[in-house]
Amino acid sequence: MESRDGEPRSKGFWDVQVAGVPLRTIVPVVLALLTSVGIAVVTLMPASNPDAAPPVVVPTGPSVVTLPPAGSPPPAGSTSPTSGTSSTGSTKPTPTAPAGKPPATPTLPSQVTIMLDDLTAVFEQGKTTPQYANIVNDHDGCGFKAGWASFCTARGDLFTVVSQYTDAVPDNALRRYLPVLQRLGETHSDDTSQLGDAFVNDWRATATDRRFDDAQLRVGHELFLTPALAIANQLNIRSSLGAEDLFDTALMMGPSSSDCDGLPKLITESIIEAEGTPASGIPEQKFLAAFNKIRLKHMRNPCTAGRQKVWTAAVDRVQALQELADKNCWNLNPPLIVGADFNLTIRTPSE
C-alpha cells in the first residue's frame, strides 16, 4: 500500500490479518455475534418483576379465628334453622361423600336439622325422638331440666321457653310461673321449691300442645344451634356431623365466650391442637378429632362449678360422635347407629 505521495505506508493495527482477513473486518462481525448472544440470554432469563405475585407461603402455625358472639346469626348464605326447617325449605338429603372425607356442603337441610334434634334426644333422654314432656330434677345444679333440650330453671333458658310460648299462646297453664322462673334464671338458683309438683304436672300437660313443642325447638335452635352454625361457617366446617359436634357442645357446655368450658373456648384450644382449621387447609376430620379430644379433656376436668360428676358421666356422647366420624357418617344419613353406651338407631328422623 502506498501513501498519497507515492511512498509505501506502514501497516496499522487494523491492517493485521488473521487467516488472511484483516482485523477491521473481523472485529465488527465478532461484536455483532456477542451482542446477539447477549440479547438472547436476557430474553430467555426470568424477568424480575416487582409486581409479580410472591411465592406461596404455607402457614405452619395455628390460624387466628375471631369467633362470633353467642346468639349471633349465621353469615349470609347459611341457613337459619328455626323450628326444624331450613331457610330454603329444602328437604333434599346431602349427597353422600366419598369414604373417608366429609361432604363439602355449607347448607343444613331440614332433614339434617331434624336428625340433630333426634340426636339431642338420644344424648339427653336416651330416646330417638324429642321428649317435650320430659321434666326431672337430678340435683346437679340445674334445678328442673325440662323438655327436649333439658332446659334449666337455673340457667334461664327454661324461662325463655315459657316466655316465648306465652307470647304465642297467652292463655296457658305455665304463664303463672313466669315471675319465679325469671328470678331463678337471673340468680342461677337451682331451688325448685316454689315451683313444686304443680309445675311438673302443668309442664307435662302443656307438652301435648304442638305449639309448645315448636317453642322448645325454636329456643333450642336460637340459643345453641345458631351460634354453633355461625362458628362452623367461619371455620369452614361443612359436614352435618361437624355441625352436630358444635351444636351438642354449645347445648351442653355453653355457647358463649364467657363460659369457661364453652364452645368458643374449646374451639380456640382445638385450633392450637390441630395447628389450624379447615379454613386454613386442615382436613375437617383431623380438626374435629382434635376438637373431640379437647372436649373430653374439659368434660373430665371442667372449670365450670358443679359439672365434674355430671360431665364425667356424659363422655359417652363425645365418644359416640367420634365413632360416627370413624365410620364416615358425615352426612348423618338414616338409619344412624349411635354407639358408645347408647346403642340406639335413628331409623326415620321425625318429630
DSSP assignment of 111-180 equals: HHHHHHHHHHHHHHHS-SS--TT-EE--SSSSS-EETTTTEETTTSHHHHHHHHHHHH-SS-TTGGGHHH
Active-site annotation holder among 140, 259, 269, 351: 140
DSSP 8-state symbol, 8: B
Q: Which of 124, 190, 222, 245 is catalytic?
A: 124
Question: Any idea what DSSP says for residue 225?
Answer: I
Output the nine-digit C-alpha cell for 265: 373456648
Active site residue 157: no
**How is residue 75 written as a grid cell?**
353469615
| Cα–Cα distance list, 79 to 60, 89, 233 (Å) | 32, 10, 10
Spacing of C-alpha 118 from chain mean position: 20
The sheet carrying 151-152 orders its strands as 135-136, 145-146, 151-152
Cα–Cα dist 219/145, whole Å = 15
Side-chain-side CA neighbours of 5 within 13 Å: the count stands at 2
Task: List phi, psi (to 5°) of 122.
Answer: -60, -50
Task: Please give the Cα distance from 8 to 2 (Å, whole number).
Answer: 4
Alpha-carbon span 203 to 181, nearest angstrom: 13
Which triple of cell numbers denotes residue 196? 313444686
* Annotation says 117 is catalytic: no
Q: How many CB atoms lie within 10 A of CB 188?
A: 15
User: Catalytic amino acids?
Assistant: 124, 140
